[in-house]
A = this chain, B = another copy of it.
Amino acid sequence: MAHERGGRRTQPASIYDVAALAGVSITTVSHTLSGKRRVSPESEARVRRAVDQLGYVPASFARNLQSGSTHVVALLVPDIRNDFYALIAKGAEDLAHQSGYGLILCNTSSDPVREESYLDLIRSRFIDGMVYAAGSHPTQLRLDSLRGRFPVVFADETFYGVSDVTSVTADHYAGGVLAGRHLAELGHTRAVMLTGPGNLVSSLERSQGFEDAFPGRIVRRAGAFDAASGRALIAELIASPEGLDGATAVFAGNDLMALGVLTALREAGLRCPDDLSVVGFDDVREAGYTDPRLTTVRQPAYEIGRQAMTHLIGEISTHDRRPHVAQLDRLAVELVVRGSTAESATAAR
């Protein structure tokens, strides 16, 4: 258990140091550790003793140089504080770990520069592959620089017109339908729909599903997938001349927006669900604690992460052996009815 006291660090031992101390060749050291060839009990004992004494651990980059792979993969997310992505991360990590892969979690903060710097990890082969769940539509350029060159799987978002990349997403359209039908069944005839960024397939599909399922009139507002945006959009609407204009329900593009809506309602002195029913999307942890607790469309986030990672590791292991076939997984969503939705009473003020 030799370790330096007092702070000055010692150079890590190399395989040569171990071999010298044990009085054998580096080949024997290598094979003792890998078990790929028989080693005499005496040699093995000497090697193990030397390894312990020096605290030797093989340098990964030297191994990688041989094998060409690092057995580490990455997951790109836009915001790790969003519970939806945190849960995707958990699913991805569990599977990666099961498969003997390490997982790097990369948080882009929706910053293209940072995203780009993380993409360099795969270009420089620091990692073997990547699950891209950055919650944004990567530019065609970025996509092209990766496609066909490195193992990449998309999660959460998917892309129209790109057939050669595997993706795992929830069934956003079905979720929108669920939300629309739910509000319709509660007797609502006028609703506000808060949508996310217009370039995101997920946002588009949710909206489309809602529009197809909700028979009443819909007021549309577009914003960002966060609480501040949800709050601002509703506050703006309330403050406008026509106000909510008879709307008795809101379908928020995701839970964060819905949380913002709840805040805006409280600030405006309106009550949920009495004055306005609210439906979110995702089912993040906060949704179970709000007042009232949020009715929402649950995405199987953990499963999305898990599946995406399954595909990725599959692609990596069959890497250059055979052309890979793109998959498109659609996972089922589920309506979680809680307190933020109720029967439509009279039109709000």
> Which residues of chain A have a CB within 8 Å of any CB of chain B?
1, 3-12, 55, 57-62, 64-65, 70, 72, 80-81, 83, 86-87, 89-90, 93-94, 97, 102-107, 109, 114, 117-118, 120-121, 123-126, 144-145, 147-150, 164, 259, 262, 285-286, 289-292, 319-320, 322-326
Known: A57-B120, A105-B105. 13 other contacts (CB 8 A): A3-B145, A3-B147, A6-B323, A61-B62, A61-B64, A80-B80, A81-B285, A102-B117, A104-B105, A105-B107, A259-B289, A290-B290, A290-B291
Q: Which residues of B contact A262 (CB under 8 A)?
A: 289
Copies of this chain, how many?
2
**What separation, in Å, do the CA atoms of A121 and B118 have in the docked complex?**
18
Q: Is the CB of B118 within 8 A of A102?
A: yes
A8 to B: closest C-beta gap in Å: 4
Q: Which residues of B contact A124 (CB under 8 A)?
A: 57-60
Q: Is the CB of B97 within 8 A of A87?
A: no
Q: Is the CB of A320 within 8 A of B144?
A: no
**What separation, in Å, do the CA atoms of A187 and B102 have in the docked complex?**
52
A210 to B: closest C-beta gap in Å: 24
Please indicate which of the listed interface residues A10, A93, A94 has the most CB atoms of chain B within 10 Å of its own CB: A93
Q: Is the CB of B97 within 8 A of A9?
A: no
Q: Is the CB of B80 within 8 A of A9?
A: no
Known: A126-B72, A286-B286. A320 touches B8 (CB 8 A): yes
**What separation, in Å, do the CA atoms of A105 and B149 have in the docked complex?**
25
Q: Which residues of B contact A121 (CB under 8 A)?
A: 60, 102
Q: Which residues of B contact A319 (CB under 8 A)?
A: 9
Q: Which residues of B contact A126 (CB under 8 A)?
A: 60-61, 70, 72, 102
A116 to B: closest C-beta gap in Å: 12
Q: Is the CB of A80 within 8 A of B89?
A: yes
Please indicate which of the listed interface residues A118, A145, A289 has the most CB atoms of chain B within 10 Å of its own CB: A289
Q: Which residues of B contact A150 (CB under 8 A)?
A: 9
**What separation, in Å, do the CA atoms of A114 and B81 have in the docked complex?**
22
Q: Which residues of B contact A7 (CB under 8 A)?
A: 148, 164, 323-326
5 A-B pairs (CB sep. < 8 Å): A59-B125, A60-B126, A80-B86, A90-B107, A105-B107
Q: Which residues of B contact A118 (CB under 8 A)?
A: 102
Known: A102-B117, A120-B57, A126-B60. A10 touches B149 (CB 8 A): yes
**What separation, in Å, do the CA atoms of A37 and B76 have in the docked complex?**
35
In the complex, the chain B residue whose C-beta lies closest to that of A113 is B97
**What separation, in Å, do the CA atoms of A286 and B324 have in the docked complex?**
42
Q: Which residues of B contact A147 (CB under 8 A)?
A: 3
Q: Which residues of B contact A86 (CB under 8 A)?
A: 80-81, 86
Q: Is the CB of B80 within 8 A of A70?
A: no
